[in-house]
Structure 1
């Protein structure tokens, strides 16, 4: 039992706790500009998201609105200043590799936890109703298109929240502040469980951003979780409901 526990502890430290060395300093002027762009992008993105989530399932406007939302997050992120992919700490102590395997495992673990939670959600109508309403966009629309938009928006959200916004916060509490901001934005969905999911996902990806110094790990974890939930949550709810 000792070996697996130690392995898990080392994995958590490498993936979510111990930052890798890097130097991403920027001038005061560049930092101020990043903050302005980040705030403007947040306001526009929140407005577009609120509109997109109020489009009825099956309405073609949903695809256009979610596509526009991805453009807002991505353009705002790239306009704010340099973004970094980040690096991971390996088992032998190196930190000159891109984070790929670690965030994939973290995403799968998150997915497993939320699918287990589906057992409870499926049996509580007040919780399941809003989730079903959100999933109706995939049920009554084009699943491949919804999946593609889910992936594109997942990438764009990480470019902004764990890229531009994280850097714009500065050194004081960037994980906490970006997690709160991300959860607050998801509140426009009107789905309480999605707000909880946003808080958990935002915290995990924020820790990954802090550790790796970049956006690659958060993107991989986000895509693994979000696409897995899109494809596996509906059958899980039906199986346990």
Structure 2
């Protein structure tokens, strides 16, 4: 029963996630759908184990992960399919209100952690919860996001296992997302989606 419920929540949230990123950047539809994604993850999370109350390590992990991704982003600008994929995602940051896009990204990231590293982790374990996280992201049909979900999902799950709760991965996710939103859009201006190699 529990597995069936969580599978249903995962399917619903994934569908909303795909629809949200397919919405026109800056549109009301985008914000309504992303809010629905976060609400779905929060609703499916149930009781959330907090775990160890360390703040410094998760924050440093988020900053370190951003550094790695920033280096990869510099390389991805030279690979047309990845450049287009990243520029497409960042179109929401370029065309939308910066505060509302930031709030949307950070709240959704927190919601992902309480669901995927909370309820899903408790039922499906390390490998299962990570696999479902990546599978959920495939609904976006964006290869850059799927690659990021595989890397970061693995890191978040390791943190969940070591810390015994969701606080560590949640802090890491929020710091990483905030830095990505602050620095990546300038690397991928809107016209790069159409720039030939």
Structure 1 length as normaliser, TM-score?
A: 0.75
Question: Corresponding residue for 2:71?
Answer: 116
Establish whether residue 183 from structure 1 lines up as the match of residue 183 from structure 2: no
Question: Corresponding residue for 1:133?
Answer: 88
Q: How many matched pairs?
A: 190
Question: Which structure is larger by alpha-carbon Rg, 1 or 2?
Answer: 1
Question: Corresponding residue for 1:84?
Answer: 49
Structure 1, unaligned runs of 5 or more: 1-31, 88-97
Q: Deviations over 1:107-137 (max 9, x none)?
A: 1110000001111111222210121111111
2: CA distance, partners of 1:43 / 1:188 = 9
Cα offset for 1:226? 1.1
Cα offset for 1:50? 1.7
Within 5 A, what are the aligned runs for 1:140-155? 140-155=95-110
- Highest relative contact order (Cα 8 Å, sep 6+), 1 or 2? 2
Question: Corresponding residue for 2:153?
Answer: 202
1: CA distance, partners of 2:79 / 2:36 = 34
Deviant stretches of 4+, over 6 Å: none
Structure number with the higher helix fraction is 2
Q: Deviations over 1:176-221 (max 9, x none)?
A: 2211111111112222121110011100010011111100001001
Establish whether residue 59 from structure 1 lines up as the match of residue 27 from structure 2: yes
Cα offset for 1:160? 0.4
Q: Considering only aligned residues, what root-mean-square deviation do their CA atoms show, in Å?
A: 1.4
Structure 2, unaligned runs of 5 or more: 193-197
The worse-fitting range, judged by mean Cα deviation, of 147-156 and 182-191 is 182-191
